[in-house]
Structure 1
Amino acid sequence: MKSRIIPSISWVALLAGLILLSGCAPPPGSSVALKKQFTQIRQQQKQQAEQIEILQQQLSLLQQQMTAGSNIIKDREPLEIPAAVSAEISALTDSASSYLAAFSSLASGRFISAEAGFAGFLSEYPNHQYAPNARYWLADAQLAQGKLPAAAANLRQIIVNVDGQERAPAALALLAGIYRRQQLNAEADEVLEQLRSRYPDSAESQQLYRSHEPQ
């Protein structure tokens, strides 16, 4: 079966442009965590744009080779894009679009839409580098709707997942808050102790220390 015909370079450049322009800034009232996450998304977009630029250069080289050989073989078929390159471009654009759409919903307070978006992202890209972040924001969207058990379940998944350790301190802090709201004070204290012992240098742990300092 033949791969897809190679797109023009302008089409590939357009893909890169769509990725860079598809983000939306959080509203002025967004939390510090949302702003930090948005900065991380921008960095990921930049990395993805660089990857697409590399692919664009590879495609340009293939087109040059095709042009150089056209004087020898007049009736040759158009050069075809390698299937692996095509799949990589598609994965980059699709995953970025899905994540950013869900994050945009969360930042604008559309929590039902955000919940559906992040759940869909995790279903489609369970091993994506942003999967722990997506699960954290999924829990945040559920918490905003009062879905405490569902939010707690997602946070616990982050905490025990080896790939979610960068997000684990924030997940522990949020989980402790949920337990407090559920009047599960012993569980909340246990979670906060995990935060102190496992991530003593995290921003969440430092904030916890400051909150217990005598005034």
Structure 2
Amino acid sequence: MRCTILILTCLSVTLLSGCAAPPAPSRSVVPSSRPLEQKVMAQQRQLVDLDATVQQLATALATTQNELTSLRREVSLLKTPLQNEQSVPAVTTTSDTGSRQPSATDTYLQAFSAYTAADYSAATSGFNTFIQRYPRNPYIPNAYFWNGEALLAQNNLEQAVEAFSAVVKEYPEAHKAPDALVKLAQIYAQLGQTSQAQQLLHQLELKYPKSSARKRIPQTLLDTLAQ
């Protein structure tokens, strides 16, 4: 009897062990592609930002090169003496030093040198003196233009508009007139008056279609007006 029970018990254990659930198959670990996708997207965003930065630097460089070209042209012209200085003759001062009042050439050069040295306040003062003393001098349009640039550098937009407008209205044949129109358009665009800025560029296209200023309109200005 005991042998029979022992045999049955062994059979039961054997059967139960055979019916046990098979072990779960091991899952192979598949790496998720999400981190890689996120990294790629981050790199794409960085490339877009980098491209925008490059475009901004290119625009700034073009503007700087344009300014440098204008300055070089100005310096080249100044190598020849300014003429027609007789509008207000130089007078001898009564100071102990006996120094004479600077000529038109000296007055203009001092103001222009101050501008190139980024001493915009002194440049404004010098150009105003030149304009007041020598109103018939052929360099008056240039004096108004560079005075406008000096005022613009000081963020004096109202007086800068007056200076550039003087070039456009009073000296439309001056070689600085097209550049003055562009400067006015930039100021009005900065002030949010895009309609006025567009009118000025249209005027530039009509009156000075072959001017270098028309070919050098800053891309930032065009982008602003296109919005």
Fold shared by both chains (TM-score > 0.5): yes
Does 2:146 match 1:137? yes
Match of 1:179 among 165, 188, 192: 188
Match of 2:108 among 79, 88, 99: 99
Match of 2:76 among 16, 34, 39: 39
Match of 2:156 among 147, 154, 163: 147
Q: Which has the larger radius of gyration?
A: 2
Give the distance between the partners of 1:190 and 1:117, measured in 2 at CA. Answer: 32
Identity of aligned residues (%): 27
Give the corresponding residue for 1:79.
none
Give the corresponding residue for 2:33.
none
TM-score, scaled to structure 1: 0.60
- 1:184–1:210 Cα change, 3 Å: closer
- 1:179–1:201 Cα change, 3 Å: same
Give the distance between the partners of 2:129 and 2:162, measured in 1 at CA. Answer: 17
Deviation at 1:101, TM superposition (A): 0.2
Give the distance between the partners of 1:35 and 1:132, measured in 2 at CA. Answer: 17
- 1:210–1:201 Cα change, 3 Å: farther
Deviation at 1:209, TM superposition (A): 10
8 Å CA contact 2:182, 2:213 repeated in 1? yes
The alignment covers a number of residue pairs equal to: 146
Deviation at 1:180, TM superposition (A): 1.1
Match of 1:156 among 162, 165, 183: 165
Deviation at 1:42, TM superposition (A): 1.1
Give the corresponding residue for 2:136.
127
Amino acid in structure 2 at the alignment position of 1:141: A
- 1:152–1:121 Cα change, 3 Å: same
Deviation at 1:167, TM superposition (A): 1.5
8 Å CA contact 2:204, 2:214 repeated in 1? yes
Deviation at 1:182, TM superposition (A): 0.8
SS in 1 for 2:216: helix
Give the corresponding residue for 2:123.
114
Amino acid in structure 1 at the alignment position of 2:137: H
5+ residue gaps, structure 1? 1-27, 52-83
Deviation at 1:162, TM superposition (A): 3.8
TM-score, scaled to structure 2: 0.57
8 Å CA contact 1:158, 1:164 repeated in 2? no
Deviation at 1:40, TM superposition (A): 1.1
